[in-house]
């Protein structure tokens, strides 16, 4: 097993030095789901606060751009693309974010931040109807580029 890169030889937290890494195209996709009851699902199109799903899409994109402000050891990245895909199911919504950059480090955290904040936004805009809404299944789906190569989550 390799060592954790965010700690130096003395066990102190550090930001990884990526100045020697080549700028390459890097992508990441992440997933989150928001489980809610049928009454909340039926009310989604009629939310007096506005469309929760479109607001979540915007919030996710904004969050990806702010990842380095939220996660202490993340590098600020020039994102070239962020998209949020939201699918409605009978028991909730599924959110997939994709982030892209050409940089010396990857965009996994940006994709994960995007889906998490999008899911939190759905909760925020619907919590008046039901406080038991659940945010679940936040995980990385894929990543490409960089020294560690490509990653594809195994499906079960």
Residue 90 backbone phi and psi in degrees, to 5: -60, -30
Alpha helix stretches (DSSP H) within the chain: 38-43, 52-65, 67-70, 108-126
Is 124 an active-site residue? yes
Q: How far apart are CA 120 and CA 117, in angstroms?
A: 5
35 three-class SS = strand
Q: How far apart are CA 41 and CA 129, in angstroms?
A: 10
- Catalytic residue, candidates 20, 51, 124, 137: 124
**108-126 helix and 52-65 helix, angle to the nearest 10 degrees:** 150
**Active site members:** 124
């Amino acid at each position: 097993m390799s060592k954790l890169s965010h700690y130096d030889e003395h066990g102190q937290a550090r930001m990884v030095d990526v100045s020697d890494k080549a700028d390459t195209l890097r992508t990441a996709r992440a997933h989150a789901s928001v489980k809610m009851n049928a009454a909340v699902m039926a009310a989604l199109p009629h939310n007096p606060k506005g469309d929760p799903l479109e607001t979540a899409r915007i919030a996710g994109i904004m969050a990806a751009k702010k990842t380095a402000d939220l996660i202490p050891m993340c590098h600020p990245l020039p994102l070239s693309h962020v998209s949020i895909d939201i699918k409605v199911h009978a028991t909730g919504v599924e959110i997939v974010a994709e982030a892209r950059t050409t940089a010396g480090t990857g965009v996994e955290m940006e994709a994960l931040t995007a889906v998490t904040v999008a899911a939190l936004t759905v909760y925020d805009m619907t919590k008046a109807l039901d406080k038991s809404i659940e945010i679940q299944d936040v995980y990385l789906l894929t990543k490409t580029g960089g020294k560690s190569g490509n990653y594809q989550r195994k499906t079960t």
